[in-house]
Structure 1
Amino acid sequence: MRVILSGGGTAGHINPALALAEVLAERGHEVFFAGTPHGVESRLVPQAGLPFKAFEAGGFDRSHPSSLVSGVAKIARSTRQAKRWFAEVRPDVVVGFGGYVSIPVARAAESLGIPVVVHEQNSVMGMANKYLSKRAQTVCVTYGCSADAASCPAVCVTGNPVRRSVIESSREAGRAMLGIPDDALMLLVFGGSLGARHINEGIVGMRDELLAREDLRIVHITGPKELDAVREALALTPEQEERWQLMGYQDRMGETLAAADVIISRAGATSLAEISARAIPALLVPFPHATEDHQTTNARAWVDAGCALMMPDDELGTEAFRDQVRRLLDDGDLRASMAAAARSQKTADAAAKLADVVIAAAARGGAAVQ
């Protein structure tokens, strides 16, 4: 079977697709990827060893009507190009993960009778996926609450796929990489690939209190643009730097997550899936300006399930924030309860569940391109 995956714009669309690709390849299927020429997928997909095909696609700015004209023209042109590519690849099914590029790819599939499956990572469905859900054979979602936005009779809750490098990394390997003692309590702080200034400021405000905990080690991923400012604000001595590691970016998140006991982070879909797959107790601080405040909805699902605590962004740096951090660090029973709740979500099985749906869609649809 040949499968085309499509998505673009952010790593949040790409990493779940790559996790699905790993499972499909293990099952003996051939996987291709369609993305944009300059998006993050143009780097991540070839790194993963998948054949990559680029198509132009653009969004629409309602305040600039001309962008609608150019956006529609790009989609129409890319749809024609995708149809010609399909004649060469002869796919059995197309899976869209969001981002504007998935629209022409899925439209080309629909026009040729090739089954389309859509996967939504967030609790609030994105515009491209809303559009494609009207044409999809099946819509797969991470959160049951997002199913209402899908204009498709077949909706399946699969969870958000996580790559093997995250699931299979060991605590021992992670701690060896970071130089963290086996008996230390490790706090991991990060705000996504770009960092989060408010989280950085909130944790820096606890500098003296955290350093006073002799058994605590902190790994703090600031975001590339925040590293210098955070380093200056902390003003760590060489000895303290051994206990409070600063880095702008970490490309080995699998090992880093595996080493952690407690996490403070934003509530993006990929971060939550990885935290859940590793069953790590977390304090989540949703980004308040995310589309339709979807990070708050994402986080609330994990809080309601008992997997995490949540703190509003505007309360970072307050005594309430410090109390929540202390609670996670001090209460071993709470951490154990959160880890058990996270394991019950079975996030680590999401890629396999999604692969089952994709294979079934292909079987029902058949190979339409002969």
Structure 2
Amino acid sequence: MQKLKKLVILCGGTGGHFFPGLSIGRIFKAESGEVILITGRHKVSYAKEFSPKYNIPIYEVESSSISASPLKLINFIIKTSFGFFQSWKILVKHKPDAVLAMGSYTSIPSSLAAIVLRIPLFLHDGNSVIGKANCFLSKWAKILMSAFPVVNQNLDISKILVTGMPLRPELADTKIKDKQEAIALFNKIFIRNFDIKKITLLIFGGSLGAKKINTSVPEALASLNLTANSLQVVHLTGRDYAESTSERYKQLQFDHLILEKYDDMSLLYKMADIVICRSGGSTVAELHYFDKNSILVPYPLAAENHQYFNALFLQMKNPDTLIIEDKDCSVETLAKAISNLLTKTPRLQTPKTNPAVSVLSVIEEKLI
């Protein structure tokens, strides 16, 4: 077995591809490996923020999504060609032992360069439905890894290895032991008086928020006529929704904290008994890692409905996972689901290994 010393990770252009790749890179670097990240060019530059923060080289190359439109097809060919030659120079310069692609069309130019240069290519997909880019590249890859069991009908499932979704090291390795410790730290940080004996509800919809969740959940809670002693809520609204969501909570008696976002999700997961959220790959992986009862509202416009299939995976692992499709996410349906989970016993977290470690182990094992 060849020792993996230098790894290039293709992290796509969105957070769902970038952060799992960054997590793998950080862990590999902590183990004295040399890591380089390649992303697409987007309005938000991950390179500017995270390259200096973690001392990891991050390159941006050209890429484009494919389309049936003749003009967009030409744009795809031109940008992919530019990205291919940019990636070629990067790979020739750094001479990695392997290339790991995390999915997305932005990984195609660099993956093709790796294939032509005969650098072993590995793939990872963060959803139950393998994306088109990874499906296309899988015929040249050493192995295709996935976060969850795969539901694609056009792939040979026997050639796909379920490794789980890589988690941020600070999330997987949190030093917070239990709900009591989390509540105490939360109260100190936010000058609150949350009570360990009360059921804690955590609500979020991603960095941009989810309007349906932000509007429906407070109304659902109001309809249940819960007392101040029964519940406490932390609601992350996402950008632009904090003020309007705060207004909806003013009619409610129980303690609550409304924030646009909060980075230390391990603290919030540790104190939460019930979580209401979307079902993106990273979110589902985190809920599984922390063993949380949850109400999932899959994003209806997710490619090939992959969020719904992600949610089904979690429901298979934990029967106290309730799934409400976006079109059915009414105040009444949410109220019924919340009432249901309020009667359930919160699950105890079982020890687990960060799947990022498993991904690195598979690459080294398959490296020839």
Q: TM-score scaled by structure 1?
A: 0.87
Q: Does residue 232 of structure 2 align to residue 217 of structure 1? A: yes
Identify which of 235, 249, 253 aligns with 1:234.
249
Q: Does residue 181 of structure 2 align to residue 175 of structure 1? A: no
Q: Does residue 31 of structure 2 align to residue 27 of structure 1? A: yes
Structure 1 residues not aligned, in runs of 5+: 365-370
Residue 86 of structure 1 aligns to a residue whose secondary structure is: helix
CA distance, structure 2, for counterparts of residue 211 and residue 190 of structure 1: 20
In the alignment, which residue of structure 2 is the partner of 1:326?
Answer: 339
Q: Does residue 125 of structure 2 align to residue 112 of structure 1? A: no
CA distance, structure 2, for counterparts of residue 262 and residue 51 of structure 1: 39
Identify which of 202, 206, 215 aligns with 2:220.
206
Identify which of 85, 88, 92 aligns with 2:93.
88
Residue 183 of structure 1 aligns to a residue whose secondary structure is: coil
CA shift in 2, pair 1:225/1:109, >3 Å: same
Identify which of 1, 7, 13 aligns with 1:3.
7
Identify which of 46, 50, 64 aligns with 1:58.
64
Structure 2 residues not aligned, in runs of 5+: none
In the alignment, which residue of structure 1 is the partner of 2:210?
Answer: 196
Q: Within 5 Å, which residues of 2 pair with 1:311-350?
A: 311-332=324-345, 335-336=346-347, 339=348, 343=350, 346=352, 348-350=353-355
Higher helix share: 1
Post-superposition Cα deviations, 1:321-359, rounded to whole Å, max 9, x if no partner, equal 212101212322xx33xx56xx49x5x441111111122
Q: Quick one: which amino acid aligns to residue 310 of structure 2?
A: N
Q: Quick one: which amino acid aligns to residue 270 of structure 2?
A: A
Deviates further, 46-55 or 112-121: 46-55
In the alignment, which residue of structure 2 is the partner of 1:187?
Answer: 201
Deviates further, 24-33 or 315-324: 315-324
Deviates further, 151-160 or 22-31: 151-160
Q: Within 5 Å, which residues of 2 pair with 1:290-305?
A: 290-305=302-317
CA shift in 2, pair 1:118/1:109, >3 Å: same
Identify which of 338, 342, 361 aligns with 1:356.
361
Question: Does the CA-based 8 Å contact 2:27-2:169 persist in structure 1?
Answer: no
CA shift in 2, pair 1:40/1:129, >3 Å: farther
In the alignment, which residue of structure 2 is the partner of 1:99?
Answer: 104
Question: Does the CA-based 8 Å contact 1:4-1:34 persist in structure 2?
Answer: yes
CA distance, structure 2, for counterparts of residue 19 and residue 139 of structure 1: 18
Deviates further, 221-230 or 150-159: 150-159
Question: Does the CA-based 8 Å contact 2:39-2:107 persist in structure 1?
Answer: yes
Aligned CA RMSD, in angstroms, stands at 2.4
In the alignment, which residue of structure 2 is the partner of 1:277?
Answer: 289
In the alignment, which residue of structure 2 is the partner of 1:14?
Answer: 18
Residue 273 of structure 1 aligns to a residue whose secondary structure is: helix
Q: TM-score scaled by structure 2?
A: 0.87
Q: Does residue 75 of structure 2 align to residue 70 of structure 1? A: yes
Post-superposition Cα deviations, 1:20-65, rounded to whole Å, max 9, x if no partner, equal 1233223321111001233453355323332111101111333x32
CA shift in 2, pair 1:262/1:45, >3 Å: same
In the alignment, which residue of structure 2 is the partner of 1:140?
Answer: 145
Post-superposition Cα deviations, 1:167-209, rounded to whole Å, max 9, x if no partner, equal 2221425534354333332110011221111111221113434
Question: Does the CA-based 8 Å contact 1:11-1:41 persist in structure 2?
Answer: no
Residue 101 of structure 1 aligns to a residue whose secondary structure is: helix
Q: Quick one: which amino acid aligns to residue 107 of structure 1?
A: L
CA shift in 2, pair 1:188/1:44, >3 Å: farther
Q: Does residue 301 of structure 2 align to residue 289 of structure 1? A: yes
Q: Between the two proteins, what is the percent identity of the paired residues?
A: 26
CA shift in 2, pair 1:316/1:186, >3 Å: same
In the alignment, which residue of structure 2 is the partner of 1:253?
Answer: 265
CA shift in 2, pair 1:43/1:272, >3 Å: farther
Question: Does the CA-based 8 Å contact 2:10-2:99 persist in structure 1?
Answer: yes
Residue 59 of structure 2 aligns to a residue whose secondary structure is: strand
Identify which of 128, 140, 153 aligns with 1:123.
128
Q: Quick one: which amino acid aligns to residue 290 of structure 1?
A: A
Question: Does the CA-based 8 Å contact 1:283-1:309 persist in structure 2?
Answer: yes
Post-superposition Cα deviations, 1:247-266, rounded to whole Å, max 9, x if no partner, equal 11222223222221210011
CA distance, structure 2, for counterparts of residue 65 and residue 250 of structure 1: 43
Question: Does the CA-based 8 Å contact 1:36-1:56 persist in structure 2?
Answer: yes
